[in-house]
Amino acid sequence: MGSLFGSRLSCVANVTLFGHWPEQIAALQQGLTVIQPDGRESTAHLRVTNDLNQVPPADIALILVKSHQTTRAASQAAQVLRRKGIAITLQNGLGNLEKVAEAVGPDRAVQGVTAQGATILEPGRLRHAGEGMTYLAKSPSLEQRVVDVARLFNQAGLTTEVIDNADSVIWGKLAINAGINPLTALLEVPNGTLAQDEKLRRLMSAAASEVAQVAQARGIQLPFNDISLKTTEVSQATASNRSSMLQDMSRAAPTEIEAICGAVVRFGQSLGIPTPINKFLLWAIKTKEAGLLSLSLEGLQAELAKV
């Protein structure tokens, strides 16, 4: 996602990408190939570094790392942000804003959520899997700066809207992530496979429905009425996309399961709401991350029958 946003924003602003993946950094220094949803290819030439001393003072820091890297990334953002700069999290899961605010100050931290889809095919080669809305939450002390960022994003072709409260869209995305990401990672399949099989559709819906129940108990209304229909629509609309969790699993990188299903389970426990499907998915992904689990659809169903 950092490469996607960086390539778009570099057309309208001075952008520096900062990260720690050596192969990706080396490839990006030669140019980023972006495959658009319609199949067209373009090349973006980006400034990229793994040396924080080479990052110039920034007005905006986009936090697009995995949730387990948030604390480190937020601390690094704090070191390069100008006094009136802002840090924006567009990450999956819950708890990221609080970590960013702790590092840069609550008056400089902004919550956002994006439905853009992207897959790294190999270092330096990105497939833009689908356009989606980006939302930025208003903040009384930051309203004009957030509006200015939204304008910049829209100029870059990243359709963005400023909203009063991001809770609804954050939990809506969380529900979709919980429904799609763990199942695709466990079965090692693209998103569209989940919509093609009735049993997988039911599992996807069950995981997402638990999120909706927890959100409702917290007084949060999701931005759509039918969670089962929505998760199916998203899996179909992003049929060829490999979810971020599957991408992480494929390269033996830590996943965001704790910030997605783990967060649902913890909130559910605090509210007295059972979340057995999310609890199972949390266990299954962590077990597979440890190299102790390999599941077919039949094996997945057999494990779930024990829940």
Other residues' Cβ atoms within 10 Å of the Cβ of residue 184: 26
Residue 231 has pLDDT above 70, yes or no: yes
Residue 92 has pLDDT above 80, yes or no: yes
User: What is the structure's pLDDT at 91?
Assistant: 95
pLDDT > 90 fraction of the chain, expressed in percent and rounded: 81
The tens digit of pLDDT for each residue in 276-287 reads: 999 999 999 999
Contacts of 218 (CB under 8 A, 6+ apart): 267, 271
| Class of the domain covering 2-165 | alpha beta
> Can you name the residues that pair with 88 across neighbouring β-strands?
62, 110
243 with 181: CB under 8 angstroms?
yes
Token look-up 């389970």 returns 265
Contacts of 274 (CB under 8 A, 6+ apart): 210, 268
User: What is the structure's pLDDT at 302?
Assistant: 75
Closest to 177 measured CA to CA, from 76, 68, 257, 84: 257
Provide the CA 190 distance to its chain's centre, in angstroms: 16
Token look-up 């599941």 returns 295
User: What are the tokens at 56?
Assistant: 């110039």
Catalytic residue among 66, 99, 173, 230: 173
Residue 305 has pLDDT above 80, yes or no: no
Half-sphere exposure of 128 (CA within 13 A, CB side): 25
pLDDT category at 176 given cuts 50, 70, 90 is: very high
The yes/no answer on whether domain 168-304 falls in CATH 3.40.640.10 is: no
pTM for the model: 0.89
Tell me the domain boundaries of the chain: 2-165, 168-304
Segment 64-84 mean pLDDT: 95
Give one DSSP letter per residue of 159-213, joined into a string. Answer: -EEEES--HHHHHHHHHHHHHHHHHHHHHT--THHHHH-HHHHHHHHHHHHHHHH
First to last CA, the chain: 34
User: What is the structure's pLDDT at 139?
Assistant: 82
- Examine the residue annotation and report whether 230 is marked as an active-site residue of this protein: no
Quote the CA–CA distance of 192 and 236 in Å, as a whole number: 5
| Angle in degrees, CA 210, 270, 113, rounded to 5 | 55
Contacts of 68 (CB under 8 A, 6+ apart): 254, 256, 258, 259
58 with 48: CB under 8 angstroms?
no
Alpha-carbon separation of residue 43 from 40, 63, 64, 190 (angstroms)? 10, 23, 21, 25
Residue 218 has pLDDT above 80, yes or no: yes
The 8-class DSSP code of residue 242 comes to P
> In the sheet that 32-35 helps form, which strands lie side by side, from edge to edge?
41-44, 32-35, 125-130, 117-122
